[in-house]
Chains A and B, each alone.
Chain A
Amino acid sequence: MTLLSRINELFKKELKVVNIGITGFRDDLKSLKVPVIHVEFRPPAGGNTKLLSILKKLK
């Protein structure tokens, strides 16, 4: 299996979507009966940008 064919494999599969962000996009997909799961996103590190950049550096 070549790496590239992962995109072509997707073309032959049913899309199963995880929606992270705008709820409206989830609603549109639902209205089309597309399987979709919505993540209740919360800004990491309590939204503290300083802490976030420190955490990023630690990774």
Chain B
Amino acid sequence: MSADRIKGAKGTGGLSRRGALIGAASLAGLGLTKAALAKPLAEVLSTKKLRAGINPTLVPFGVFNQQNQIDGFDADIAREIARQMRVELEIVQVGSPDRIPFLQADRIDIVLGAITRTVERALVIDYTIPLHTQSVVILTKQSGTAVPIAKPADLDNPAVRLVQVRGTVGIPWIQANAPKAQVTLLDNYPDTFRALQQGRADAMVDVLESIVVPMKNVAGVQWKVLDEVLASTWVGIGVQKGNTTLKDVLNIVLFEMHRSGFVGKTWEKWFGVPMKTPVPMNPMF
């Protein structure tokens, strides 16, 4: 083995993208140039192109279909938005850590991917009116848990091991309601389900919409979703802060998509059941 081989960079597979992101972000942060502004409406219309950031690991909001193209609930919604605005849709694959930088660096015009509306996030991006809701529930197993888990209060126990995807809405709920539990944070849903399946954890607090499809694909586990809805969250589509020209149009397009039943039908197509907490019709926004 030659000396340069020894010094060679080690393969870090999936981290290269994150590394590049962090590198780019730090360059932007350190030697700050004025960041690109997102395309306002006029530019979307003149280029006849709308770029939507979609996360294909968030099944069924985003999925890779048999042709290895991005499909799913979010893709259907984005296609319908583009159709109504009479522009072409370009789907851009994004992940959790890089979706906001993509928006801010003008690589995408809108971002989907079940982005829960919070005050803190609203300081950074702008949201459209709600596209859908999510219901926070507890996913556990029929057997093989450290202690029996039958109600939310059972989680607040030092013997309980929870596993969560980083940055999901279940985490603040756990901090407030089950501070005694042990929590492991992983990067994505496939890893968290594997951790539950392998007995690394007893339960997960997350939105029903994120777990309902993946849990069916995990073999050999008797899942149990507790009935209680711990909280409902509201999910809008994200646009760059201050991009009101685009946001105002999207609001009206979304309202019409709710009114025509397109959102509801598309939801049932991908989830197999109606939305647990419906989005009420409200023409004032």
B partners with A: no
Chain B residues proximal to chain A, CB less than 8 Å: none
